[in-house]
Amino acid sequence: MSDVEDREGLAELARDVAAYARYAREIGDGYVSAGPTAPSVRVSGTSASRAAVQEEQEEREPMPVKKVSEPVRTSGAAGESLEDIRADLGDCTRCKLHPGRTNIVYGEGNPNASPMFAGEGPGADEDASGRPFVGAAGQLLDRIIESIGLRREDVYIANVVKCRPPGNRAPEKDESSMCEPFLHRQIIAVAPKIIVALGNTPVQSLLGFKGGITKLRGHFFEFRGIPVMPTFHPAYLLRDPSKKRDVWEDVKMVKARLDQG
Ligand code: SF4
């Protein structure tokens, strides 16, 4: 390697370290904690603990799909808007999650967002407010978004299931299968340049892969021609801050792809 290449390599490394330091400041304490045995943070009553436990489990057995009385369209009408899809969702009783909810958490953000973030489902804070990612994990997601130069209102955020599963558990297969067409239609309506799939549930919904977020993250896949970056759910980062470095690598790739236009 020539001296010039050497200097350019060092300059690039310095820029990367500086950007990493900014990211560490953005997402708060614990980011640089590198030990695999970093202490867990209990986030009871939110989607946080559920997603984190799910990612730790990695693999789940498929559940039988139950019959339901209301139909669900698996693809939307051409040109349908987010409002059209919300109207079709209505006061939904299509799956067994509906009796336990306070609010349907449909999704929110820029209807023309370049990046879209797909999560698992509402936790207690989201169920109470009717908004996605407003608890501790949501605050961390906000800081991750800000670390790549965007604001929460620049992106669109929605979950695979729109109603809170009881007992803070992961959505079961029949629930995800019934609700996920709405997320898919939201994606088509927003037409983002990139989707960031937060954890195993949206990865399974969008890509058909079951579990294995650790192996899948850091690589782009596709959902209907749209690049998808799987990464850890923010709730998992609350339990294991050492994984924040991996998320940094993933969102750097997302930013680079967005910057390409
Ligand atoms: S989770 Fe989705 S399909 Fe199930 S009741 Fe709620 S909105 Fe309907």
Q: Which atom of ligand 1 is least distant from the CA of 182?
A: 2
* pLDDT by residue, tens only, the chain of 261 residues: 566 556 666 666 666 667 776 777 666 644 333 333 333 333 333 454 565 555 555 544 333 333 334 555 656 666 899 999 999 999 999 999 999 999 999 999 999 999 999 999 999 999 999 999 999 999 999 999 999 999 999 999 999 999 999 988 999 999 999 999 999 999 999 999 999 999 999 999 999 988 689 999 999 999 999 999 999 999 999 999 999 999 999 999 999 999 997
* Spatial contact of 203 and 209, defined as CB atoms under 8 Å apart: yes
The finding on whether 92 has its CB within 6 A of some atom of ligand 1 is: yes
Domains and CATH numbers, the chain: 41-57+74-259 (3.40.470.10)
Q: Which atom of ligand 1 is least distant from the CA of 161?
A: 1
Alpha helices by DSSP H, listed for 28-72, are: 47-57
Pairing of strands 108-109, 156-159: antiparallel
- The gap from C-alpha 105 to its chain's centroid, in whole angstroms, comes to 14
Ordered DSSP codes for 223-249: ETTEEEEEE--HHHHHH-GGGHHHHHH
Q: Taking Cα atoms as reference points, which of 56, 32, 30 lies closest to residue 41?
A: 30
Q: Taking Cα atoms as reference points, which of 227, 224, 231, 167 lies closest to residue 202?
A: 231
**CA Rg value for the chain:** 19
In this prediction, residue 57 carries a pLDDT of 53
Locus of tokens 């899948």: 216
Give the number of C-alpha atoms closer than 13 A to the C-alpha of residue 161, restricted to the C-beta side: 32
Q: Whose CA is nearest to atom 2 of ligand 1?
A: 179
The finding on whether 60 has its CB within 6 A of some atom of ligand 1 is: no
Q: In angstroms, what CA-CA distances link 86 with 82, 128, 145, 189?
A: 6, 18, 25, 11
Ligand 1 centre from 142 Cα, in Å?
25
The finding on whether 164 has its CB within 6 A of some atom of ligand 1 is: no
Entry pTM: 0.81
In this prediction, residue 6 carries a pLDDT of 60
